[in-house]
Amino acid sequence: MDHGEREREREREEREERGEREKKRRERERERERERERERRERERRERERREREREREREREREERERERERERERERERERERREERERERERERGEREEREREKRERERERERERERERERERERERERERERERGDEGSSAEGRRHEYQPCPFCN
């Protein structure tokens, strides 16, 4: 093998080595690119999951807030109902008081009328007793004993 052949052989081996190194370099580059792509997809996946969890937490907060608002509204409604019941009870109490007052006044008027009737009966009995006394005096005047008493004319009539 002469010098030229050795030189060509050496150049061929160098080309092959360079080709091999280039091939390996490209392979490593492709591997790094695939790794970067996997990492990018992994980051995107984690980011999507993070956003989804965040949206889920936000929806949960909104649901809880709506539930709290419904509970507050139910509480306000219970409070309004309680106030309406108390108002109805006060109204019934007021009406009962007015009714009892009217009945008490009616009983009082009835008692007053009864007392007035009793006084009228007493006056009537008194008048009856007076008439009886008048009759008795008239009877006395016609008797012998009654004639002893002098007749007294009415001072207003004469």
Domain residue ranges of the chain, discontinuous segments joined by +: 53-135
Instruction: Kindly provide the residue ranges of all beta strands, DSSP E only, lying in the chain, ordered along the sequence.
Output: none
Residue 152 has pLDDT above 80, yes or no: no
Indicate if the alpha-carbon torsion angle 20, 21, 26, 30 is positive or negative: positive
Residue 93 has pLDDT above 70, yes or no: yes
- Stretch 37-58: mean pLDDT, rounded? 98
Residue 36 has pLDDT above 60, yes or no: yes
Residue 119 has pLDDT above 70, yes or no: yes
Ramachandran category for residue 105: left, alpha or beta (phi over 0 → left; psi -120 to 50 → alpha): alpha
- Residue 137's pLDDT band (cuts 50, 70, 90): confident
SS3 103: helix
The pair of structure tokens assigned to 10 is 């050496």
Nearest to 31 by CA among 19, 20, 23: 23
**What distance in Å separates the CA atoms of residue 118 and residue 85, rounded to the nearest whole number?**
48
Residue 56 has pLDDT above 90, yes or no: yes
- Stretch 140-150: mean pLDDT, rounded? 52
Residue 86 has pLDDT above 50, yes or no: yes
Residue 148 has pLDDT above 70, yes or no: no
Residues 133 and 141: beta-carbon distance below 8 Å: no
Q: What is the structure's pLDDT at 147? A: 46
For 23-27, 145-149, 153-157, which range has the lowest pLDDT when averaged over its residues?
145-149
Residue 156 has pLDDT above 90, yes or no: no
More confident residue, 58 or 9: 58
